[in-house]
Amino acid sequence: MNGPTTRWAVVTGGTRGIGLAIARRLVSDGFGVIAAARSAAADLPWGVTYAKLDVTDRAAVDAFFAGLPKLDLLVNNAGLAGAQDNDADDALWHAILATNLTGAWYCSRAALTRLPDRTGRIVNISSVLGLRGVPDQPAYVAAKHGLIGLTRAMAMQAAPRGITVNAICPGWVDTEMATQRFGEIGITADEAAAGVPVGRIASPWEVADMVAFLARAGAGSITGQAIPIDGGATARA
Ligand code: NDP
């Protein structure tokens, strides 16, 4: 049960996909979890509370974090992907940058004022596309690279307080976002899996386990890092 010693986590985009798996995993580790997203999920698991939040709305983000009774861990997971046509208007570019990068900045700066010294944690969900490029998603690639830069800068800000800030860089993970992307590039899930060195797409649980690890006291010396969970994709020559 949640009590005065319960650790509290905010998972942005915690209502589905990777974020929901992270929320479930953190509950099993004894966290009270707030899943913050624009729209509510039909039924969230026990221990996960929904909060309506658009991470691109700075005033709403500041009010949300100021209103939290306690915060030990922020997971910046909210994300938006999409193929772009270079000649299209700029709306998608701005939306992707705002969600994946500026939103993480808004949440991180607000969270830093609430996180406890020594045990506070921030984990950013970047992507292998924060480490590598593809031709048709310039905004997503730029935002996820930027999120790794933000991770390093915030890690340096937070280091004197003993708070760690890390990024996780997943390759293909079995979620709605990945399914949409398979459609965009015209491949099946099996074909995507065949392109991964280990021969399969990761489960959201594998990302959630890394978040749980980074949240532990024993991970207190790991900070400013970008950790791939990609079945070996970024190790391949
Ligand atoms: P989904 O599209 O399944 O889920 C995205 C989540 O983000 C939803 O809960 C959504 O809720 C929330 N969200 C989107 N925009 C906002 C916003 N402005 N404010 C608050 N919440 C928002 O994505 P995945 O679970 O697949 O992805 C999670 C993260 O992992 C993303 O950052 C993604 O870029 C990254 N990633 C995913 C990979 C994959 O293969 N699936 C690979 C590498 C990285 P709502 O729409 O209600 O706001």
- Return d(Cα 83, Cα 44) in angstroms, integer: 30
Cα(115) to ligand 1 centroid in Å equals: 23
Least confident window among 40-44, 185-189, 201-205: 40-44
Give 1's pLDDT tier (boundaries 50, 70, 90): low
Spatial contact of 138 and 84, defined as CB atoms under 8 Å apart: yes
Residue 26: pLDDT over 60: yes
When pLDDT is averaged across residues 120-137 and rounded to a whole number, the result is: 97
What pLDDT does residue 237 have? Answer: 85
Least confident window among 3-7, 55-59, 113-117: 3-7
**Taking all residues of the chain, what is their mean pLDDT, rounded to a whole number?**
96
Phi and psi at 230, nearest 5°, equal -140, 15
In the chain, the amino acid numbered 131 is: L
Give 42's pLDDT tier (boundaries 50, 70, 90): confident
Cα(13) to ligand 1 centroid in Å equals: 6
Catalytic, 140? Answer yes
CATH 3.40.50.720 correct for 7-229: yes
Q: Is the shortest distance between the CB of 223 and ligand 1 below 6 Å?
A: no
Ligand 1 atom nearest to CA at 38: 48
Ramachandran sector of residue 163 (left: φ over 0; alpha: ψ -120 to 50; beta: rest): beta
Give 155's pLDDT tier (boundaries 50, 70, 90): very high
Residue 5: pLDDT over 80: no
In the chain, the amino acid numbered 33 is: V
When pLDDT is averaged across residues 29-35 and rounded to a whole number, the result is: 98
What pLDDT does residue 117 have? Answer: 98
What pLDDT does residue 144 have? Answer: 98
Nearest CA to 101 among 184, 211, 12?
Answer: 12
What pLDDT does residue 172 have? Answer: 98
Residue 60: pLDDT over 70: yes
Q: What percent of the chain is predicted at pLDDT more than 90?
A: 95
Own/partner pairs for 50-55, CB < 8 Å, 24+ apart? 50/15, 51/10, 53/12, 55/12, 55/99, 55/103, 55/104, 55/106, 55/107
Cα(149) to ligand 1 centroid in Å equals: 19
DSSP string, the chain: ---TT-EEEEEETTTSHHHHHHHHHHHHTTEEEEEEESS--S-PPTTEEEEE--TT-HHHHHHHHHT-S--SEEEE---------TTS-SHHHHHHHIIIIIHHHHHHHHHHTTSPTTT-EEEEE--GGGTS--TT-HHHHHHHHHHHHHHHHHHHHHGGGT-EEEEEEE-SBSSHHHHHHHHHHT--HHHHHHTSTTSSPBPHHHHHHHHHHHHSGGGTT--S-EEEESTTGGG--
User: Sign of the CA dihedral 15, 43, 9, 212?
Assistant: negative
Ligand 1 atom nearest to CA at 41: 47
When pLDDT is averaged across residues 129-150 and rounded to a whole number, the result is: 97
User: Sign of the CA dihedral 223, 18, 60, 48?
Assistant: negative
Q: Given 64, 93, 106, 140, which residue is catalytic?
A: 140
DSSP string, 162-188: T-EEEEEEE-SBSSHHHHHHHHHHT--
Residue 4: pLDDT over 70: no
